[in-house]
């Protein structure tokens, strides 16, 4: 068993512990001692000790750096995402993360369904006609309207709502780089909700888990 002191995050107990059992190479990672609320991950049947050790270390980091979870309901096309995918989910209650759908585009000028309030250096990501997400591009306010932004996004095909052929328009999320990072989540479970949508469970994503 190995242990190391970690900086406390939220209400996290102080000591992550990693245990490897030679017989079955079981990886067990727990936070805290014998107390209520202890969190641990456990898995079996690793073939190599190196693989078991790496997985145990990864699970320890997951327990330390991924504390928040969230449940959302997506539209039916949410079935195309998979468990383990990293997705961008804006927080509707966070005014620093602004999202909506694209109404029209003319050159680098985009018209949006929602008013955008700019503060600091803002970046935007957009979904194309197949649902793929672009990289982040610097965005600036338009001079003629608050319902839009200007960004040098490549000439990608967009879904523009017309009520007939296109009913699921291309969406955008715009925020500072730090706020966009805060909107990254990992899919841990999904299933149809029985009402034409997809119920998705998410866990907080952090690059530190994989460092």
Instruction: Kindly tell me if the per-residue pLDDT of 6 is higher than 60.
Output: no
Is residue 186 over pLDDT 80? yes
Give the tens place of pLDDT for each residue, 130-174. Answer: 888 899 999 999 999 999 999 999 999 999 998 888 888 999 999
Adjacent-strand bridge partners of 21: 26
pLDDT the model gives residue 143: 94
Q: How far is 60 from 15, CA to CA, in rounded Å?
A: 10
pLDDT the model gives residue 41:
56
Please, which pLDDT band fits residue 120 given cuts at 50, 70 and 90?
Answer: confident
Looking at the predicted structure, is the pLDDT value of residue 10 above 50? Answer: no
Question: pTM surpassing 0.75?
Answer: no
Does position 25 have pLDDT exceeding 60, yes or no?
no
DSSP string, 135-172: --EEEB--SS-SSEEE------------SSS--S--EE
What whole-number distance in Å separates Cα of residue 67 and Cα of residue 14?
A: 14
* Confidence (pLDDT) at 45: 55
pLDDT of residue 42: 58
For residue 151, the model assigns a pLDDT of: 98
| pLDDT bracket for residue 18 (50, 70, 90) | low
Q: What is the pLDDT of residue 3?
A: 30
3-class DSSP state of 63: helix
pLDDT > 90: percent of the chain: 33
């Amino acid at each position: 068993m190995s242990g190391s002191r970690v900086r406390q995050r939220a209400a996290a107990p102080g000591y992550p512990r990693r245990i490897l059992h030679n017989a079955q190479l079981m990886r067990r990672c727990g936070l805290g001692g014998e107390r209520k609320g202890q969190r641990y991950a456990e898995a079996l049947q690793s073939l190599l000790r190196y693989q078991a050790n790496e997985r145990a270390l990864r699970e320890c980091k997951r327990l330390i750096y991924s504390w928040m979870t969230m449940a959302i309901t997506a539209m039916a096309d949410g079935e195309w995402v998979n468990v383990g995918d990293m997705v961008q989910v804006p927080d509707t209650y966070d005014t620093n993360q602004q999202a909506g759908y694209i109404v029209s585009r003319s050159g680098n000028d985009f018209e949006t369904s929602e008013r955008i309030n700019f503060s600091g250096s803002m970046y935007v990501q957009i979904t194309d006609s197949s649902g793929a997400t672009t990289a982040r591009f610097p965005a600036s306010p338009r001079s003629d309207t608050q319902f839009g932004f200007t960004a040098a996004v490549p000439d990608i095909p967009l879904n523009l709502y017309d009520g007939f052929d296109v009913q699921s328009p291309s969406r955008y999320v715009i925020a500072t780089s730090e706020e966009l990072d805060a909107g990254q989540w990992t899919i841990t479970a999904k299933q149809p909700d029985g009402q034409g949508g997809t119920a998705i469970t998410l866990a907080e994503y952090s690059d530190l888990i994989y460092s």
